[in-house]
Amino acid sequence: MSRAFLIVMDSVGIGGAPDAHAFFNDGRPDTGANTVGHIAQARPLRMPVLDGLGLGAAVRLASGIDAPGLGAEPRGLWGAASEVSRGKDTPSGHWEIAGVHVPWDWTYFPDADPAFPADVTARICQLAGTDGILGNCHASGTQVIDDFGARHLQTGWPICYTSADSVLQIAAHEEAFGLDRLIALCRDLSPMLHAMRVGRVIARPFGGQPGAFRRTGNRRDFAIAPPGDTILDIAQGAGRVTYAIGKIGDIFSHRGITRLHKGENDAALAEHLVRLGTQAEPGSLTFANFVEFDTNFGHRRDIPGYATQLEWFDGVAGRFLATLSPGDLAIFTADHGNDPSWSGTDHTRERAPVLGWGAGVRGVGQVGFADIGASILAHLGLPAPRHGTSFL
């Protein structure tokens, strides 16, 4: 019985989104944003495994850019995917890849001071048992800890912030505030935010002392549930084992998942993926997210760091593909872009690469995000999701 592996390289976009003009970063439209293309122009990339599958060809197909270093003749399945849902965020991208379009407009908090409505702030204070909150603004997750961490330790007030995504994030010191208390606060706040069509409430624990704060690996996302059955629901409902790696469990509200594997960082998640390449049962579905492209390098506009991460992950992909057997299918893709050469610090609206191992050597052209999930289920011999058409 064949197995399927779906690997999301978080924010590894390839430019060319047809509606990029309708999305903005710091007042600038995303037209022309190209995460992989612009990184390669800054420093040629060495990615023999993923370029061998067709990464460079996918960049050219999506955006017309020849990415320096990515010129291999494709030896796998390759194409470029466009998103329909009106969002360039994690839930929208992942849900659509998994066969469910987002049927509503997300709620975003204004880039103002304060950012949150008074009733939201009051609810946070009530749940936290505090007289106030810190932050209440748009902010970088690392900068906000530097800015407010010392006052947080003095007052005990949670640090609350948002971004251009539909999200409310709460940072608190694991020891001084308490990890369980932070997670409970975010969990209990999330129904109010989900009713407002805010996509996620995220617990962002950190440790250390002033001048040396660091975020820990105990992040928890409380995401609104997908509005329909995803490929995980369909596969599990058919009796298949489903594995989630990284934040997939949080993104899908832990629905349709048999076993969840998390880790301190992408290096730890890579070991889970390589191991499951050897150990996952026949007929199983493994769905993985590697987030550090986005969090550590895209939002921070770190071009050299992003390039190094891409090349590191190419080595992971090589190790993983070496574990697969005839009949298996692996697809590498992305959920949005985060061009580190772009203005602002937010995601960029881009097409995603579609790179497949185990489906022959062929180009599939321009496809939709939902076609990726439909193809995964077709490979597993399962019914198609609500949206998408298999390109296999």
Q: Which residues are annotated as a binding site for Mn(2+)?
A: 10, 294, 299, 335-336, 347
DSSP annotation of 98 reads: T
- Summarize the annotated binding site as residue ranges: 10, 294, 299, 335-336, 347
Per DSSP, what are the bridge partners of residue 337? 348
What is the helix (H) or strand (E) element at residue 329, kind and residue range?
strand 329-333
Which pair of structure tokens corresponds to residue 389?
């058409």
Tell me the C-alpha distance between 32 and 108, whole Å. Answer: 24
Tell me the C-alpha distance between 56 and 74, whole Å. Answer: 8
What separation, in Å, do the N-terminal and C-terminal C-alpha atoms of the chain show? 17
Tell me the C-alpha distance between 202 and 357, whole Å. Answer: 34
Do 347 and 165 contact (CB within 8 A), yes or no? yes
Which pair of structure tokens corresponds to residue 71?
């010129």
Give Cα 54 distance to the centre of its chain.
21
Do 99 and 386 contact (CB within 8 A), yes or no? yes
Distances (CA, A) of 286 to 5, 229, 234, 264, 334: 5, 17, 13, 19, 15
What is the helix (H) or strand (E) element at residue 368, kind and residue range?
strand 362-368
Give helix 266-279 / helix 303-321 axis angle, nearest 10°: 20
> For strand 220-223 and strand 200-207, is the pairing parallel, antiparallel, or unpaired?
antiparallel
